[in-house]
Structure 1
């Protein structure tokens, strides 16, 4: 099983946060998990900890959020990722199956490992964590 010590869940849906907590527990994923309601909160956290090891190993990122959506997050992340002390794995997790979102995700191939559809399943977790 892949070991991610620190995980960020970036999604504006409180119910989704609850579901993710249950999935982490069910799949025995023991990590320091932080939840953010928009991309700006997560980017600020990463920027504030850029020169430390307190940045996440894994980010599960939604696309449609207020304040700073997933695309805006990825633009900022692209600018700062080379200045980080470790590599961060990013998965897009969205309810959008719009072809324009799928095509747009290809513009971020260097930042995004894979695109998952909500709701995430135990099989999706196995893909990520094994």
Structure 2
């Protein structure tokens, strides 16, 4: 089943703009909700815990103010038991630091992959094809 809903958790507004254009240029029809930090996303998930408001997919940045990607994953992993739908997470970061890449692997039950910015059409194809299986 192809994802119909997507959360992008990233504090970079330029990235939001570029990402929307990338989806549009490639004919990927998905409802995207943008959050500027992990806390905004966690609060939204908590408010909509029983609703069909949960995303099919989450794209998560590492470095953000207020609540970074790692803090989001800690909170999200604790919430997962109560969620009716488990949304897979793809880390999307400009950090190619080995520490970050290995840390993402520690969340292997949640994080499906770690990709470097900028995301390209091939990355999207890979993400969306994996979700289609």
TM-score, with normalisation over the residues of structure 1? Answer: 0.96
TM-score normalized by structure 2?
Answer: 0.94
1:117 paired with 2:116, answer yes
Report the CA distance between 1:87 and its aligned residue.
1.9
Residue in 2 aligned with 1:16? 15
State whether structure 2 residue 37 is matched by structure 1 residue 77.
Answer: no
1:93 deviates by: 0.2
Number of residue equivalences: 129
Flag as ranges the 4+ runs of structure 1 deviating above 6 A.
none
- Gapped regions of structure 2 (runs ≥ 5): none
Aligned to 1:126: 125
Q: CA deviation at 1:104?
A: 1.0
Alpha-carbon offset, residue 101 of structure 1: 0.5
Aligned-residue RMSD, C-alpha: 0.9
Deviations 1:7-58 (A, max 9, x none): 0000000000001001110121112111010000001111111111111111
